[in-house]
Amino acid sequence: MASIIYAMSGEGRGHATRARVVVEALRDRHQLTLFASACAYDLLAPRYRGSDVRVVRIPGLHFAYSAPGRVDLLRTLSEAALFRMALGDYVERILPEVDRARPDLVIADFEPIAARAAQRRGVPFVSFDHQHYLVVGDFDGLPFAFRQQARLSAPFVEALYDWQRATIVSSFYRVPVKPAYRDTRWVGTLIRPELLGVRAERGRHLCAYIRRQAPAATLDALASSGREVRLYGLGARTAVGPIRFLAVDERRFIEDLATADAVISTAGNQLVGEALYLGKPLLVMPEDWNFEQSVNAYFLERTGAGWAERRPLTPRLVAAFLEAVPALAPRLRQELVCGNAAAVAAIEAQLADSPTAAVGPAATLRSVREAAA
């Protein structure tokens, strides 16, 4: 039995969902300690309270918003700079928890504090997230705007850490990998256990997910659909016409997702992958200045399973999407979307390496990049 620390970003719910898949796949033969912030901690701590999986709260990075659905890029970068200045203190703060876990492996899911703690303690460390596709992916085939967005985002992703001995990317799509990063392991979306056994059905309602706030125009467009809309992400509140505002409840969300006619949401990798796994057509709204979501939206359209809209929704657009839904049946087979088995195999392969391996072996991302320079 190995001891594993899985540290994740608390921004959005995708990181916590991915972590839970890993935990449930490995907990019967390994000891898991989770480091999480914000939303991820709030989701995972109650689930594993009193169990053999320990969940530790840590500080975390997050997006700042200037308006509903609009990332405030300058304030996000400013807060990230302050976070970076405090990283040394944050590492010192979590070192006692790292020592308590005595990890054989640290997994960082877009989380920089545990990565530095692993370096301090000489513990092998791997990156396992979606965002590193921006670093290792070859985007020469993308349209100019998306290619530039990917290139602008990559340095910020790489700044979190670049000394991992392995990089695992979880995504509902694949792009060619730059020659310098051919050892990257690319796996599909991690599908939570409750979804693996679900039999999808085609109902009449729409399942929607919007983070934090929604422009009034978006809510008006959803209300105009003539369908019941089960909306998550904005908290429970009084219904507005056909829109039911629902609190986060994993079991109910899975049921609503599995029986929806279609999905309308922001363009996060995890939810898009889960909807594709269930065969649900999507209309996604990438947040302004969220370059990762913008690229996700582009690749969703390439699957033929959904639409992307970068302007506020309108009743006309929603009506056109619903009319097109029968023709948007996903063309991706479930086994191609689901990356659970490949992800677990990639992690177990890291554990199979020498337990005395130090941080900074020949195959770190940094050394590969420098060798290619």
Q: Give the Cα separation of 57 and 129 in Å (integer).
A: 19
**pTM of structure:** 0.87
pLDDT in tens, 79-93: 777 788 889 999 999
Q: Which CATH superfamily is domain 3-190+339-372 in?
A: Glycogen Phosphorylase B; (3.40.50.2000)
Q: In which element (H, E) is residue 129 found?
A: strand 125-129
**The dihedral sign for the CA sequence 98, 101, 106, 108:** negative
Which of the pair, 11 or 321, is modelled with greater confidence? 321
Q: In which element (H, E) is residue 237 found?
A: strand 237-240
pLDDT at 66 over 70: no
Domain residue limits, the chain: 3-190+339-372, 193-335
| Same CATH fold assignment for domains 3-190+339-372 and 193-335 | yes
Q: Give the Cα separation of 315 and 152 in Å (integer).
A: 33
Looking at domain 193-335, which of 3.30.70.1290, 3.20.20.70, 3.40.50.1980, 3.40.50.2000 is its CATH number? 3.40.50.2000
pLDDT in tens, 248-285: 888 999 999 999 999 999 999 999 999 999 999 999 99
Once rounded to an integer, what is the mean pLDDT over residues 159-186? Answer: 91
User: What pLDDT, on the 0 to 100 scale, is given for residue 65?
Assistant: 58
User: What pLDDT, on the 0 to 100 scale, is given for residue 363?
Assistant: 40
Which of the pair, 3 or 77, is modelled with greater confidence? 3
Q: Give the Cα separation of 309 and 313 in Å (integer).
A: 7
Once rounded to an integer, what is the mean pLDDT over residues 148-169? Answer: 89
Percent of the chain with pLDDT over 70: 89
Per the prediction, the chain carries an average pLDDT of 88
pLDDT in tens, 97-145: 999 999 999 999 999 999 999 999 999 999 999 999 999 999 988 899 8
Helices and strands (H, E) in the chain, number of each type: 16, 16
Nearest to 343, CA basis, from 73, 114, 108, 129: 129
SS3 state at 203: coil
Residue with tokens 């796949």: 25
User: What pLDDT, on the 0 to 100 scale, is given for residue 114?
Assistant: 96
pLDDT in tens, 332-372: 677 778 999 999 999 999 998 745 433 333 344 454 445 44
User: What pLDDT, on the 0 to 100 scale, is given for residue 232?
Assistant: 95
